[in-house]
Amino acid sequence: MSEKLIAPKSDKLILRALAGETLPTPPIWMMRQAGRYLPEYRATRAQAGDFLSLCYNSELAAEVTLQPIRRYGFDASILFADILLLPQALGADLWFVTGEGPRLSTTTTADQLAALNPFDAIHDHLAPVYETVRILSRELPRETTLIGFAGAPWTVATYMIAGRGTPDQGPAHALKAENRAVFEGLIDLLTASTIEYLSAQVQAGAEVIKIFDSWAGSLQGDDFEKYAIEPARKITAELKKRHPGLPIIAFPRGAGERYVDMHAKIGADCVAIDNGVTADFAATSVQPGGCVQGNMRPDLLVTGGQELIDEAQAITCAFAKGPYIFNLGHGITPDADPENVQIMIDAVRSA
C-alpha cells in the first residue's frame, strides 16, 4: 500500500478557520456525528456487543468514526470514544445501563482519591484509543481534519463524584463546599491526566483537540474561573508547549455572556458556543477574539423543513465576517433524521 499523502494545511478548511482565516463557505462537522442516528452505526455497535466494547475495539471505533465522513463528506472527523474512558483508566469502575447511561464507582473521600491510579499510568488502558487515532490518520480522506478530544476536568469530576450524570451536578457542588481538598485534588488529577491523554492523541495523529466542558454552566462566580477556565487554560498551555501550532477548541457549554473574552482567558484558537446565546451575540461579542464554532439547535435535525434551512443559513450569514466553523450547539440526537443532516449541509454551502 502506498503511503497516504499528507495534505498541506491549506487543503484542510478547518485548520484554515482555526488559524483565523475567514472562508467564503464555512467548514462543517457535527458533535456526535458518529452515533445512533445512523443505521450503519447501530449495525456496527451491535457487532461490537456493547458501547464500551465498541470504544475499545480500535477497528470498529475507527469504522464508526469514518461512517459519517463517507455519507456526508464532513470537513472534520472526531475520534469515537467517551469522556469517561479517562476516569476508567484512572481506576474508576465504569459501566453503562441500557436506556439510562453511564455509571461509575464514586470518588468522594480522601482514601478513594488516593486509590486512583497516578496520571502517568493511564496509557496502557487507553492504548486502543490511540490505535483508533492512528488508523484514522491513515484512512481519513486527505482533506478531512482529525479531531481528538477529552472531557474537561469539572465535567468529568461531576460524573466521578456522583457516579452518574445528574441534572444539576449537585453532588459535585456539595463536595466542593464540604471537602474542598478532595474536590480540588480530583480536579488537579484530572487536569494532569487530561494533558497526558490528549498529548498522546496528538502523538498518534490528532490534528486538533477539543475540550468538552458540558456542565461548565452550572459553575457560578469565582468557581467558574477556578474550575472551568483555569483547568482548560492549563491544559491548553501545556499542549501548545508540547505541540507547537496545535489548534485547540474549547467548549464551556452554558457559559452565556461569559463566552466573551473566552479565547484569551483559555488560550484557545476557537470557542464553541451552545444554543444559550444567539449567533448575532456571538458574532458581535465572541468572534472578534478568534474562530467560533456552533450553534444550530439539534432539534431542527429532527423536525427538518424550511425552519432547518432558514436557521442554518441565518447562522452561516451571522458569522460570515470572521473565522467560523459550522456545527450544532450540542450533539446530534438519536432521533435525528439522517436526510435532514444532508439538507443542513446543503443549506450552509448555498448560503
Side chain identity at residue 104, one-letter code = L
Instruction: Give the span between the Cα atoms of 312 and 299, in whole angstroms.
Output: 12
**Pairing state of beta strands 248-252 and 101-104?**
unpaired
* 159 counts as catalytic: yes
* 41 counts as catalytic: no
The catalytic residue among 159, 197, 227, 259 is 159
**Pairing state of beta strands 291-296 and 324-328?**
parallel
- State the burial class of residue 247 (Cβ atoms within 10 Å of its Cβ: 0-12, 13-18, 19+): buried
Within 13 Å, how many C-alpha atoms sit on residue 140's CB side? 31
* 82 counts as catalytic: yes
Q: Which residue has the cell 474561573?
A: 225
The alpha carbons of the chain give a radius of gyration, in whole angstroms, of: 19
**Pairing state of beta strands 101-104 and 94-97?**
antiparallel
Within 13 Å, how many C-alpha atoms sit on residue 216's CB side? 31
* 36 counts as catalytic: yes
Beta carbons of 227 and 183 less than 8 angstroms apart: no
The catalytic residue among 11, 71, 82, 299 is 82
The catalytic residue among 45, 71, 103, 134 is 45
Cβ-based neighbour number of residue 84 at 10 Å: 23
Which positions are catalytic? 32, 36, 45, 82, 159
